[in-house]
Every structure is written in structure tokens, then in C-alpha cells.
Chains A and B, each alone.
Chain A
Amino acid sequence: METLLIILGIVLVAVIAGGGALLAPRARRRGKAARTGQVHGQGGTATAAPPSTRTPETAAAPTAEVSAPPPVTEAPAAPTPAVEKPPPSAGRMVRLRSRLARSQSAFGSALLSLLSSGKLDDETWDEIEEILITADMGAAPAAHLVERLRTEVKVAGTSDLTEVRALLRADLLEQVGADFDRTLHTAPHGDRPAVLLVVGVNGTGKTTTCGKLARVLIGDGHSVLLGAADTFRAAAADQLETWANRVGATVVRADREGADPASVAFEAVSAGTVRGVDSVIVDTAGRLHTKTGLMDELGKIKRVIEKHATVDEVLLVLDATTGQNGLRQARVFAEVVDITGIVLTKLDGTAKGGIVIAVQRELGVPVKLVGLGEGPDDLAPFEPEAFVDALVG
């Protein structure tokens, strides 16, 4: 009986409170539009600002990539030197490429064999669609893409396989969004450090990503401070500290478990300002997007940091194995903390991470980095061309 009343209560609340939504949807939509506009504005100014360290590499990587067969050209750059001085992030695309080739091989080769069988009948199209679905692209986007490809092929009046593949590649590339600004804003503003906030659901690899990211930045000659705002999970701060010690970054952590993460984040940023480091990376506890309280907490972390500095990047860490739920996650996180980039982790497995295509398209937030394994240097800038090339084999 009580529980039923509770349910009734929920509905009552929804109706009384939510009625406002039904009454004024237009006003809200306008608000949202304004907000997105603002986000774009930020992106614009940030790009115009002094080029971040990462820009040259990302620019350099694709050219190296497209022109040459990967493993040969840049192999010399790959070997990892001593632990204390991580290698600069250049040349990582090579590894991305080879890893992607491994993880996507089934996908690519399946497409290849399909398209090389010579005929383009309904069955072939269905299979192409299924391959896309298997990559977690989602049923509707996959169907849409295939439909479009079919029309294009019809319009082009071609049955030439290389052309079909080129078309597919172009379509996929467009879906992946080759024109996103994927630079990571890590340059300090005057005397204040750049702040990167790392968020995501449980178990996607946030702490590991923080560690790797610190390594990358230090390798590129930045000074980095890590903020262990994951005060919830047992030993999360220790894990971060272990990472930091490997690369010589400092860690700001709470003195006890269960401290207010926002205050830890604030401390980290203030300490970063005082010590004059270039970037502060704040690791947060994993939280499911359905937990309102935890999401509010995350919003608070960001607000509190903003009292002191600008949050340059909010990176959502998405696990490549995540299915269609990834979109919901991204939506909620975007609403709460305005994510500016996505880190796609665990791409070294068999998972394809196709969900990011939908996420990028819906939220307009680019994938900026990919995690390719447990090694300390297995973090690379995301490169759409390489991603898609690996897809179409």
C-alpha cells in the first residue's frame, strides 16, 4: 500500500512540477540553444588561442598516416625509453593504427570479402548493415547509413567495388566527423593552470586515463598536478598516486576516505595555481548517470573549480565495449557538466566502440583520445581517418 502511494507520489510530483515543462517548452529550448551556442563560442576562442602542444602532433600524425604503410615509417619512434621520462605523444598514431587494425580486423575483412564477392544484392546490403550493427553503431544509424550508401551507389550508377568502398569510407568518415576540433586544451592561462576534469560511469578507466594523460603531458614537457577527487572507491587515490609517482607528477588527495570530492578538486586547482603547474587533471569517482545525487555532486565539483579557474576540458571516458547505453550516459553527463571531449578506452579489445559515432553526432562532442591498453603509453589522439580506414579494411 505504501509503495503504491509512493508511486502515486512520484507521478503527482512529476505532474505538478513537470507540468511546467509542458507549459513552457519553447522557452527551455531557447535556453538550450543559447547554451550550445555558447559552447561553440568557447571552442572557437580556445582554438584561436595559442596553439596547444598537441596541435602539431595531431596535424602531423594523419599525414604520416595516410601516406605510408604504418609499421615501417615510424617504428623507430615507438620504443619506450625509461619510465621517468615518457616519450612525447608523437608517433602514437602508428600504434593506434596497428591496434585498431587488430581490433577491427574482423570488421574490415568482413566488409572486404563482402564487397569483393562482386555483386551488390539485397543480401550484401543486409550484411553490411549487420556488420555496422555489430560494431555497436546502433540499429537505426546503421540502417540509415546503408540506405544512404545504396542511394549513392544507385545515383553513381556504379558497381565498381573500389568505388563502393570509397563511398562507404566517405560516409563513415562523415559520420565519425572528420572536421571536429579534437585538440586538447592543456595550455595554461597566464598564471593559472589548464584544468581537465575526467568523468564517466564506473569501470570505464578514468583513473588509468588520468595517469596516462599525465604521462603524455609530462612527456610533452608540461608540468602536471593530479587531483584525486575520487574519494569514494577504495584505494582510488592510491591508484592515482601510483601513476603519478611513475611519471613524477604531484598528487593532491584527501586525507581521509569519503571526503568531499569538490573540496579535493578545489584544493588541487589552488595548489596547481600556487605551484605554477601547466595543467591540473582532476580524477572523479565513477558514477552511473542514473544516480541523481552523484550527478549533482559532479556538477558541484565543476562549479567549485570554476570559482578558481576555468575548466578547459571535461573529458567523458567511455568504454568501447559499451553498447547503446553509451548514448544515454553521454547525454546525462553532457547536461550536467558540459563535456568537451570523449576518451574512448579499451579499444584494444574486440569491441569496436561504434557508439561514439552516435554520441558525437548527437552531442557534437568529439572523441579526443583513445585508450589502447594497459601500458602507460597506450593513450593516443583520436584520428578519424585511421579509425575509418581500419573499419573499411
Chain B
Amino acid sequence: MFETLSDRLTQVFSSLRGRGRLSPADVEATCREIRIALLEADVALPVVRQFIARVRERALGADVMQALNPAQQVIKIVNEELIEILGGEARRLRFAKVPPTVIMLAGLQGSGKTTLAAKLALWLRGQGNTPMLVAADLQRPNAVQQLQVLGERAGVPVFAPQPGSGVGDPIQVARDSLDEARHKLHNVVIIDTAGRLGVDAEMMNQAAAIRDVVDPDEILFVVDSMIGQDAVTTAQAFLDGVGFDGVVLTKLDGDARGGAALSVAQVTGRPIMFASAGEKLEDFDLFHPDRMASRILDLGDILTLIEQAERTFDQQQATEMAGKLASGEGFTLEDFVEQLAMVRKLGPIGNLLGMLPGAAQNREMLSQVSDKDLDRAAAIVNSMTVQERRNPKILNGSRRLRIANGAGVTVGEVNSLVIRFLEGQKMMRQMMGGGIPGMPGMPGMPGMRRGQKAKGKKKGKGGGRPGGAKRPGGVPAGKPGALGPGGGAGAFDGLGLGGQGLSGPGLGMPGLGRPGLGAPGLGGPDGPAGPDGRGGSGLAGLGGSGGSGLGLPPGLQRSGPDSAGGTAGFGGPGSDVGPRQRDDDDGGDDGDGRQLPPGLRGSSGRRGRGKKGR
């Protein structure tokens, strides 16, 4: 599992925390990390170089050198630069003064042109246009047929005079299509061309010939978001060969980081106009530079997660699920399985957790949770009787054995699932009791070290929720663009320095560099938490500067009974953590480094220390 930019920068900066200022050498180190992060996101090398040069220039400026927490500043700069390049001059489709408007699609094989043509047609139709699709891909076997089927689904007529599969002249088809469109009064013509390689001169000439014949108002370059370093070469080849006015990114529903977007935008200077994310014809939207920036930087992407959830579930399902969660008491194992199935539908659990802000830091831990575990849990619950599911307390030894046999697991696994469930239930209850803003500490898991770790996470996210709840109010600026930087920086905050914890990213919580935004840093109130005290106090200061979006009211932060260190403190199991804290610096670092809501820090703090604290 590769590290994210935030991880890397946290590492770089943690060593300089004591000094408070950045030297040029530090900036160099930072730039190296940014370089690697971008390369891992598939941003092309030449683009990375230019990008780094600009970031370096800005980073050497006074604002960063003197900033209280330079890491935030650097991330902010990177994010801003990214958005600037990606955003370019955003513009809409140009329509011809005299219809038909001609849109031509070009791209490599398999980048998704044919599907995109149909999506675009549907989208245009939704806006009151009368588009027509033109099957000018006569190369690939049955591409014409594919377009016809898709056109039918989209309810858009398809002009396909030639059978395709290697037969026919695409240039002729394109020429004829214009007459057809005028004749049938279509105001937009979308020409789907064959996929071609940048080095294939013959095919490039053909594309140019099609262009010359139809004189398109827009040529869209369709590019797969999974493409790697070749993006630059290909984009350049198409720009030289056919020329294009806009870029469309496809297959964004995968988990590719999409550095290609940056490469193409930077190298060609053409704006990215649309993003296509999904196999359904409706999965097509305008491009959001801010989200893409967060994605490239892997900063957690709550907005996408929410959208994904909205796409997957209908309103009723969502309300039901929410209701059950909120009822606390009524949350039974049956509901749990149901919910598990819903979560499963959203995608691999690792991805989902990865989208949660602050997840980056716990990557290692998160990567241990796989869909298989979810399935196993479902199997265990499914092996219970209805009665048992509604009331797990009746589970005795023999019932457990039966369940274990039924699910093909050990009794121990059944036990731990039940225990975790009960804890979760209790947590829900407490949370609902405590109201939205506060997420009370959760009692530790009896006698289970790993269990505590898990608990920690749960609590952490729970803590994040209140922050999220403020979302409506948290976006006062109201401009969507603002979310990006805030989110980006926020995520880093959570990981690095500030007190934003989970609340920041994507939710438009107090942005960067708004010092003193109230509320005690998360860890503040828990300063005295035993061995972690040093870290705690160190943090309180920094937390303030970062603006603690989350700021759990101190009163609500109850320590769990069995975690000596105080749950909200730096490591749930304080006793476990304390002794390993060798020096002040380290403790402090870790303290602010893990400015995540209580529990999360508990676990990750420990892990971090294991790694860093030597």
C-alpha cells in the first residue's frame, strides 16, 4: 500500500516540528515527497517537474517559512495549484450559431468513446437538445451495432449508413451525417470515431480528414482516467494530429487516482469538461476540479462518498438505515446484517474507508479490513436464529458453538463479533443520548487489545460525525470550489497538525490558517490523561491554531472505564502507549500528528509510536 502525500509530508515535517520554521533544505525534502506522491498518482513526469518548480517557488515565499504549521501551508499550495491547472478556464460546450452543432470524439482504443457518445447524447437530450449519434467507428467489429443499441437506450437516433467492422468509409459517413442532421432537424451531431493510437499516422490522418469534412464545433479527447505516463505523449499526439478543444475523463468510478487529468490539462492547456463515472448512461457529469485535486492527492473524498451512497441507495433506504442507526436501542443484529449488505453494495470496504478523511493515516490498519471480513460477519449473523439476532444476550456456549459451526468459523470469532456488536450498540445509544455534538468516549473492549484498536476507530469516526453535521453551516462561502482547498487542508490538518480531525475535509469546516477557531483542540481537555499528558498539552496549542472544527465539548468526552489514558486522549489504551513515549518531542509530534477524534488517535497513535517511537 503506497503512502499518501499527507503521510509523506507528515513524516517530513514531524522531524522539524521543534524548529518551527522551514529551511530551504526542508522545502527541498518536501518537494521530493510531493514529486513521489504525484508520480504514484500517475501524473506524467514532465508535468510533475513543472509543477514542483512552481510549488517550490511559492513554498519558499515568506508565508510558508513563517507559518505556524508549514505542512498545512504546503498542502494548501499544492492543492491550489492543482485546482488551478485542472480548472483552467472552465467553459461550457460551444454551440454553433447555425445548427447542427458538431461534436467529434477522439481517443485511444478502449478509452470509452462509444459509451461516452451515448452518455453525452442523453445528457444533451436532457437539456432540451435534439442530438443525433453518428457511427463513424467502422474499424472495431460491431462498434456500429453497439452505438445503435446505446442510442436506443438513450432514446437518441443513430445515423449508421455503413455496416462497420472494417467496411465503409468513415469520412463519407461523417459528411453525410451533416445533411441527415439538417434534414431531420437535429441540432447536435455527435460523431463517434474509431479508437486510434497516437503513433498511427494513417488513422490520425483519417481523423483529421473527418475533422476537415465536418468542421466540428467541439472536438473532445476522451481519456481513460487509469492511463499512466503515456497520457502526455498520447495527448500531444492527438493535439498535433487532430487537435481538440476539451477533454473528457472516463472510468472515474474506478479507484485510479487520475493523475492523467493533470498531465493532459497541463500539457495541452485544454480544459477538462466532463467526467464519466459509471456504466449507466446517466453516470455523466461536468468535471469538478476540486474533487479531482483531492483525489490526486488522496485526501479523502467525502463528497464522492456521499454521492456514491446517494446513487446506490434510494431515499427510502437511506432514511430507514439512518433511522435504525439513530434509534440506538433498536439496532439489532438483523439491522446490522442489512446495513452490512448495503455497505457492501457501495463498493469494497477498503475504498470506502479510504474515502473517509483522516483515513490515510490509518491506511495500514484499514487495509486489514477486507470484504471477506464483512462476509464472514454476515455469515455468522446469518447462522443465528431470529431470536438470537434480536437478543444476542441469550447466546450461551452451545448456541455459540452451533453458530460457529454453521458459519464455518471458530467460537472465538463469534464471541468477538458479538462483543463488538454490543459495544457498537452501546455506543450508538450513548451517542444518541449525548446529542449530535458530542461523542462520548466508549468503554474499552474488555480484555482485548486488538479489540480496543477497533473500538478506537469506531469511536473516532463517531466523533467525526458531529463535525460533519455542521456541514451546512460549515460552508458559508457557498462556493463549491472552496470545499476543495478546505477539504484538502483539513484532511491534512487532521493528520498533521490542527485540531480539525475528521471534521475538516470535504465538509468545508473551518479552513486552513484560521487560527484560534475556538474550541479546544480535540485532545486539549484530555491533556492530563496520564502518560499522554505531554502530548496533550502540546497539542492543545496547535489545535487552537488549526481551528478545531470538531471540538468535542469537554464534558462529553468521557473516558472509558478501562482505558487508563482516557479515551479521548492520545491513545485509547493510555497505559499501553505511555511507556513507549521516549522523548518529549516524539510525544508531542504524535499528539498533534494524530489530531483525530479520540479513539482513532488511540489506535493510530499507538501504531505510529510503534513505528516512529522506536
Contact = CB atoms under 8 A, between A and B. Distances in A.
Q: Which of B42, B141, B342 has the most chain A CB atoms closer than 10 A to its own CB?
A: B141
B401 interface: no
B325 interface: yes
A51 B226 CA distance: 37
B180 to A, nearest CB: 22
A134 B45 CA distance: 7
Given A130-B45, A348-B197, A350-B199, A14 B369 contact: yes
Contacts of B378: 17
A7 B356 contact: yes
A130 B232 CA distance: 15
Interface string B515-547: 000000000000000000000000000000000
Contacts of B199: 102-103, 348-350
A159 B261 CA distance: 41
A135 B226 CA distance: 15
A350 B234 contact: yes
A288 interface: yes
Interface string A355-393: 100000000000000000010000000000000000000
Contacts of B302: 7
B144 to A, nearest CB: 8
Given A16-B336, A321-B228, A322-B227, A6 B369 contact: no
B373 A21 contact: yes
Most B-side CB within 10 Å, residue of A23, A329, A354: A23
Contacts of A234: 145-150, 153
B322 A1 contact: yes
Contacts of B351: 290
A24 interface: yes
B208 interface: no
A36 interface: no
A136 B44 CA distance: 9
A242 B231 CA distance: 31
B369 A18 contact: yes
Interface stretch (A68-76, A171-179, A196-204, A214-222): A196-204
Contacts of A18: 349, 368-370, 373-374, 377, 454
Contacts of B253: 288, 290-291
Given A239-B140, A346-B109, A17 B251 contact: no
A204 B110 contact: yes
B339 A203 contact: no
Given A139-B36, A325-B42, A325-B256, A3 B376 contact: no
Contacts of B494: none
Contacts of A13: 336, 339-340, 343, 349, 374, 377
B92 interface: no
Interface in B142-161: 142-143, 145-150, 153
Contacts of B42: 136, 323-325
A241 B306 CA distance: 41
Nearest to B39: A139
A321 to B, nearest CB: 5
A17 B322 contact: no
Contacts of B336: 12-13, 16
A4 B468 contact: yes
B229 A136 contact: yes
B10 interface: no
A239 B233 contact: no
Contact of A292 (B149, B229, B256, B347): B347
Contacts, number: 310
A22 B376 CA distance: 13
A211 to B, nearest CB: 8
A20 B40 contact: no
Contact of A19 (B224, B416, B464, B471): B416
Interface in B367-401: 368-374, 376-378
B135 to A, nearest CB: 11
Query: Most A CB atoms within 10 A — which of B142, B146, B345?
Result: B142
Contacts of A3: 306, 309-310, 318
Interface in A286-335: 288-293, 319-326, 328-329, 332
Interface residues of B, number: 111
Interface in B305-349: 305-306, 309-310, 313, 318-319, 321-322, 325-326, 336, 339-340, 342-349
A266 interface: no
B420 interface: yes
Interface stretch (B74-82, B285-293, B455-463, B559-567): B455-463
A15 B109 contact: no
A160 interface: no
B426 to A, nearest CB: 12
Contacts of A11: 353, 356, 457-458, 461-462
Nearest to B461: A11
Contacts of B36: 139-140
B417 interface: yes
Q: DSSP class of B's interface residues: helix, strand, loop or mixed?
A: helix
B424 interface: yes
Given A4-B469, A350-B198, A19 B339 contact: no
A202 B112 contact: yes
A274 to B, nearest CB: 27
Interface in B221-245: 224, 226-231, 233-234, 237
Contacts of B349: 10, 13-14, 18
Given A17-B376, A203-B224, A322-B228, A290 B347 contact: yes
B139 interface: yes
Interface in B21-76: 35-36, 39-42, 44-45
Nearest to A239: B142
B568 to A, nearest CB: 17
Contacts of B461: 7-8, 11
A9 B328 CA distance: 12
Given A2-B319, A7-B305, A205-B110, A239 B254 contact: no
Nearest to B309: A6
B14 interface: no
Contacts of B417: 16-17, 19-20
B110 A133 contact: no
B29 to A, nearest CB: 15
Contacts of B465: 4-5, 7-8
Nearest to A11: B461
Interface string B89-126: 00000000000000000001111100000000000000
A14 B310 CA distance: 19
A148 interface: no
Contacts of B353: 10-11, 14
A41 interface: no
A368 to B, nearest CB: 20
Interface in A67-126: 102-103
B318 A21 contact: no
Given A239-B142, A239-B143, 17 more contacts: A5-B321, A6-B309, A8-B461, A9-B343, A10-B349, A12-B458, A13-B336, A19-B450, A21-B368, A130-B45, A203-B109, A235-B149, A290-B254, A321-B228, A322-B224, A323-B229, A323-B231
25 contacts: A7-B464, A8-B465, A10-B352, A11-B458, A12-B325, A13-B377, A14-B369, A16-B377, A20-B376, A22-B369, A23-B448, A23-B450, A133-B229, A140-B2, A202-B112, A202-B251, A234-B153, A235-B145, A236-B142, A243-B141, A290-B255, A322-B227, A324-B228, A325-B254, A351-B234
5 nearest interchain CB pairs? A323-B228, A203-B110, A18-B369, A17-B377, A323-B42
Interface of B: 2, 35-36, 39-42, 44-45, 108-112, 139-143, 145-150, 153, 165, 197-199, 224, 226-231, 233-234, 237, 251, 253-257, 259-260, 279, 302, 305-306, 309-310, 313, 318-319, 321-322, 325-326, 336, 339-340, 342-349, 351-353, 356, 365-366, 368-374, 376-378, 412-413, 416-417, 420-421, 424, 428, 448, 450-451, 453-455, 457-458, 461-462, 464-465, 468-469, 471
